Structures are given as structure tokens and as C-alpha cells.
Amino acid sequence: MKNTKGFSLVEVLVAAAILAVILLAIAGLFSTAYSNVGHGGHRTKAVALAKQKMEEFRDVIFPPTTAGSPETVDGIYTRSWTVAVTGAPSQVATVTVTVAWPDAGQGTRQLTFASMIAP
């Protein structure tokens, strides 16, 4: 009877191939996760910039400025806004704030907030 201790070369090669496939899949997940974290960070900053401008409009005397020229923030984000004031008697202003930023591989991304402000 033959004493079989250890692994044969074929078993080791099959195990190494399976391990390589699993490690490549995990490496791909890390790459995707890293990219998504970057996209999320830009979107979070864009939301904060839009909210900041909305709060500025809520703090000014009514009616606010009707439009603003685009401004660059942090050298990446472009923020612009428009204000449409409806006539009497309600005097309600619809403020729209748009934040745009370049996104690698996706072109330019854009986020728009709109809100109604009354005196």
C-alpha cells in the first residue's frame, strides 16, 4: 500500500488558481470602492455648498438678488444661482442653486437645489 502524505502538484496548482481568482475579485472591489468614496466626497461637498448658498438667501432682505455670476469654490466646484420672484400679493421667490464639478470618467456632474422663500 502506498503512503500518501502531503499534496500533489496538481492539487497545489488548483488551489493557487482558485486563490488567485478570489484575490483578483477582491482587488477589483477595492478599486471600485475607492472610486465610489471619491465620488461621494465630491457630492457631499457640493451639497454643503448648495445648502450654504440657500442659507445666505434666507438671511437676506427680501427680495434677494435675481441672479449671480458663477463662482468657483475650492478651484473645483462652480456654483451659480437664479431667483425668480412672483408678483403680488404673495411675493414668493424661487431660488435655484446649481453646483457643478468635473468628475473623472463621467464628464461634469451637477447638483441642483430649489427652494421657495417668502418675506
Report if residue 109 sits inside a domain: yes
> What is the spatial distance between Cα 26 and Cα 22, in angstroms, rounded to a whole number?
6
Report if residue 82 sits inside a domain: yes
pLDDT at 38: 74
Report if residue 3 sits inside a domain: no
Report if residue 2 sits inside a domain: no
Give me the number of domains the chain comprises. Answer: 1
- Each of the 119 residues of the chain gets a pLDDT tens digit; together they read 566 778 889 999 999 999 999 999 998 888 888 777 777 888 899 999 999 998 888 887 766 666 778 888 888 999 999 888 877 666 788 889 999 999 877 789 999 999 988 77
- DSSP SS3 for 87: coil
CATH code, domain with 80: 3.30.1300
Report if residue 1 sits inside a domain: no
The domain containing residue 52 runs over which residues?
Answer: 9-117
Report if residue 33 sits inside a domain: yes
Helix (H) or strand (E) holding 21: helix 9-59
